[in-house]
A and B are shown apart, each in its own frame.
Chain A
Amino acid sequence: MALAEGVLQLIEDAAHQQEFKKVTTVWLEIGQLSGVEIEAMSFCFDAVTRDSIAAGARLEIIALPGSGWCMACSETVPMTELFGECPQCGGYQLQVTGGTEMRVKELEVA
């Protein structure tokens, strides 16, 4: 998957700037509404990093909950899917406010 390549690129850039040669753990923040499948990401991460500085690194996923602003209820409500309904009023007038993140948070390096 393409996103795993993006993760590796950010790691390689950091390695270049901060002069480390081995990555042992990678923390990713992945929003529930980002469309990223954790299993696919883990699988691809292993494949993409096989011959890289991050070969064998542990992948830690921090899942961030989805949330949206419901116009009808005038409040922030939890969301579990991108085009889902408001859990309070059942309406679809929801604007996503959180949960679409795809970020490399930090690395443990040696």
Chain B
Amino acid sequence: MNQFAMAFTPDKLEEAWHVFLTEFPLGLWETVYVTVLSTLFAIVIGLPLGILLVAGDEKGIRPMPKPLMKVINVIINFLRSVPFLILIVMVIPLTRAIIGTSIGSVASIVPLVVAAFPFVARLVESSLRELDPNIIEMAQSMGSSTWQIITRVMLPESVPSLVTNFTLAITTILGYTAMSGAMGGGGLGKIAINYGYSRYKYAVLYLAVIVLVLLVQIFQTIGTRLAARLDKRIKK
């Protein structure tokens, strides 16, 4: 029998089922809250940044000094191009400074946010750029201030697109949690690596993967439905 088949003998399956019942609930919970919290923090930083990228653009509603915009763009591009595994190691000092340790699921939120906020900023930027410039001209012609254009026109008009993009962000971050789980974080990623890679218990690994895939499906379905429901351009 080859190694693969050996991983799925009845006693291995029973052991996997045992792990599923005892360790998965906590792992699932850790994965979900790390994902959700990381996404929220990434949005908290990325949303204003994305708005700044659009509004502060040369042709935006409130052009900002070009060097400033250049610096922001370079930082975003830099963070987006560092591989996540390397980023986790790079931000260890920052993680220690904020959380007090670099190990555990709470600590893994820091590198996840650092990796995700530039991504979210770009997603917000693309959502806001989709907006018809004529609508912004309308708002200006009615005497809107910059702040009013952002809060009363750009954001409300972009809600469906933003929801779609935030869904993309949360599912991407979910994938990253598995990686950070393997690098000292917690959650399903850690379980999958512990049993699958370190102890050749592939049944557990596959179970973890199945649960992760289901999670992605759930997030994606909720996001897609929500975006469709919120979009008033769709005739009902």
**A and B associate in one complex:** no
